[in-house]
């Protein structure tokens, strides 16, 4: 089958396709059979897309009556690593918006899915700069702090996590400033975890647990994709992007259990688990974001397995001390059809990783960080934001990556979160 036309129908499939069939076929066309509930219909469309993706169609032409969310649901589930494109939208007013979304989705997924020897700290930073510069032109500027310069300038988390690799760690600061004015206030700052490969360090992962750790820079890819999408959708406010990039590997120079790191804000951290490295690099990114003066700070990270245990692989977990902001972002996520769910975070979560030798440990010396591990990780991060967390929201990207294909999504990166973060940026007044 080279070319397939695809329609939606609210009528049941003909009986020969089986009771409750969601797909039926004629010569070179197929029909997805949906019901009346929009939420259920989107899942039906996704499930049908996964079935159709395996048929070997070169292109799928959508025809008939589809709303924009139905087209998008199909695209997210039909597009895969081996077949990223091949969807022809309806020729109507939704096409331009869908093209923007899809461009951002493909960038985000591609960066996450590529091999760790291809996407490492330097190439990740370069590809993000190049992609956003193609969209933003002269409104984009950037600087990179790398290797020993990180230590000299006090970015202790990124430096120590990445010093076990022959490829130096780095902090990318990218500035989208459409006004061109040097004194233009920063309206929002994005922070992304860019661990391009995570062995676990001396707290080494199993082979099975390490296999997919190319995806541990999913937070960096997600915030970069979201910024690009917001720019294509008309973002006219100044936004800074901070990517905290490193490979968490082992050599004679790698950071060790028992080490104590001192951050720019004076907080001391005892290392009790070198596999709890994401929060160590994000702490630097959050300090840099706060220094920008941005009233809105969003960080995103594939941070904890505990978040996946709590909300499963269909939701991202959200944390904020600023409860008003939390509710706003949750509402945006619902509007964008990107499932998200709040998990507990209070100031006292800062004390849930105690240390006898430092202000805090980076985790608990227990498997998975112990009970409430996702909240404790968020509590750790909250030590590095200003104003008791006002204006800050943390995405623990539980739904960023699938080890294998599911009934609704392909194997690899999902891109879930880019629309929510882009829409949040566009909502800044």
Local structure of 323: helix, strand or coil: helix
Instruction: Tally Cβ neighbours within 10 Å of residue 37.
Output: 10
pLDDT digits 0-9 by tens, 59-97: 899 999 999 999 999 999 999 998 888 899 999 999 999
Whole-number pLDDT of residue 183: 97
Over residues 213-233, the mean pLDDT reads 98
The CA angle 194-196-198, to the nearest 5 degrees, is 105
Q: Which of 7, 95, 205, 256 is catalytic?
A: 205
Q: Where are the alpha helices (DSSP H) in 184-277?
A: 207-210, 218-232
What lies within 8 Å, CB to CB, of 376 at 6+ separation is 349, 352, 353, 363, 364, 369, 370
Least trusted range by pLDDT, from 1-10, 207-216, 315-324:
1-10
55 vs 302: CA distance, rounded Å: 32
Pairing of strands 268-270, 401-402: unpaired
Q: Where are the alpha helices (DSSP H) in 114-199?
A: 121-136, 148-152, 156-162
Local structure of 29: helix, strand or coil: strand
What's 326's DSSP letter? Answer: H
169 vs 36: CA distance, rounded Å: 51
Whole-number pLDDT of residue 368: 74
pLDDT digits 0-9 by tens, 133-182: 999 999 999 999 999 999 999 999 999 999 999 999 999 999 999 999 99
- Percent helix, strand, coil in the chain, to 5, is 40, 20, 40
User: Chain-wide mean pLDDT for the chain?
Assistant: 96
pLDDT digits 0-9 by tens, 296-323: 999 999 999 999 999 999 999 999 999 9
In this structure, what token pair is assigned to residue 131?
A: 């992609």
pLDDT digits 0-9 by tens, 383-416: 999 999 999 999 999 999 999 999 999 999 999 9
pLDDT digits 0-9 by tens, 25-72: 998 899 999 988 888 999 999 999 999 998 877 789 999 999 999 999
Over residues 209-231, the mean pLDDT reads 97
Over residues 89-114, the mean pLDDT reads 97
Whole-number pLDDT of residue 190: 99
pLDDT of 128 strictly over 80: yes
332 vs 336: CA distance, rounded Å: 6
Over residues 416-428, the mean pLDDT reads 97
Whole-number pLDDT of residue 57: 77
Q: Which of 46, 47, 279, 419 is catalytic?
A: 279
DSSP 359-397: SEESS-SSGGGSTTHHHHHHHHHHTTSSGGGTTEEEEE-
352 vs 371: CA distance, rounded Å: 10
Q: pLDDT grade, residue 2 (50/70/90)? A: low
In this structure, what token pair is assigned to residue 225?
A: 């994709």
Whole-number pLDDT of residue 370: 81
- Give the whole-number percent of the chain exceeding pLDDT 90: 92
Q: pLDDT grade, residue 369 (50/70/90)? A: confident
218 vs 206: CA distance, rounded Å: 20
pLDDT of 1 strictly over 60: no
In this structure, what token pair is assigned to residue 77?
A: 């589930």
Catalytic residue flag (residue 205): yes
395 vs 85: CA distance, rounded Å: 28
């Amino acid at each position: 089958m080279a070319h397939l036309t695809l329609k939606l129908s609210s009528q049941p499939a003909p009986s020969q396709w089986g009771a409750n069939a969601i797909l039926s076929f004629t010569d070179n066309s197929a029909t997805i059979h949906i019901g009346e509930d929009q939420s259920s219909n989107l899942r039906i469309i996704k499930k049908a897309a996964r079935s159709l993706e395996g048929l070997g169609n070169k292109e799928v032409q959508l025809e008939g009556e589809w709303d924009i969310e139905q087209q998008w649901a199909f695209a997210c589930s039909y597009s895969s690593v081996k077949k990223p494109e091949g969807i022809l939208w309806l020729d109507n007013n939704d096409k331009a918006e869908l093209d923007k979304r899809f461009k951002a989705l493909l960038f985000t997924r591609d960066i996450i899915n590529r091999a760790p020897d291809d996407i490492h700290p330097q190439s990740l930073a370069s590809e993000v700069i190049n992609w956003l510069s193609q969209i933003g032109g002269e409104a984009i500027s950037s600087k990179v702090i790398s290797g020993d310069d990180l230590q000299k300038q006090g970015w202790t988390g990124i430096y120590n996590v990445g010093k076990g690799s022959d490829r130096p760690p780095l902090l990318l600061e990218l500035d989208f400033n459409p006004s061109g004015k040097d004194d233009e206030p920063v309206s929002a700052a994005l922070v992304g975890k860019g661990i391009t490969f995570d062995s676990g360090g001396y707290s080494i992962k199993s082979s099975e647990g390490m296999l997919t750790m190319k995806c541990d820079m999913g937070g960096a890819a997600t915030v970069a994709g979201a910024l690009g999408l917001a720019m294509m959708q008309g973002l006219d406010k100044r936004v800074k992007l901070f990517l905290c990039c490193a490979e968490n590997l082992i050599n004679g120079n790698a950071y060790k259990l028992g080490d104590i790191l001192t951050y720019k804000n004076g907080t001391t951290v005892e290392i009790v688990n070198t596999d709890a490295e994401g929060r160590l690099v994000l702490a630097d990114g959050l300090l840099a974001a706060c220094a920008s003066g941005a009233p809105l700070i969003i960080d995103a990270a594939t941070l904890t397995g505990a978040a996946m245990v709590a909300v499963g692989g269909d939701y991202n977990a959200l944390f904020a001390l600023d409860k008003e902001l939390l509710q706003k972002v949750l509402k945006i996520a619902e509007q964008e059809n990107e499932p998200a769910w709040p998990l507990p975070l209070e100031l006292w979560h800062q004390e849930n990783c105690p240390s006898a030798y430092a202000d805090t440990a980076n985790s608990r010396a227990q498997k998975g960080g112990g009970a409430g591990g996702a909240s404790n990780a968020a509590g750790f991060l909250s030590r590095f934001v200003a104003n008791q967390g006002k204006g800050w929201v943390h995405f623990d990207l539980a739904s960023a990556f699938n080890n294998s294909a599911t009934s609704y999504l392909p194997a690899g990166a999902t891109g879930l979160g880019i629309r929510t973060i882009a829409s949040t940026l566009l909502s800044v007044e």
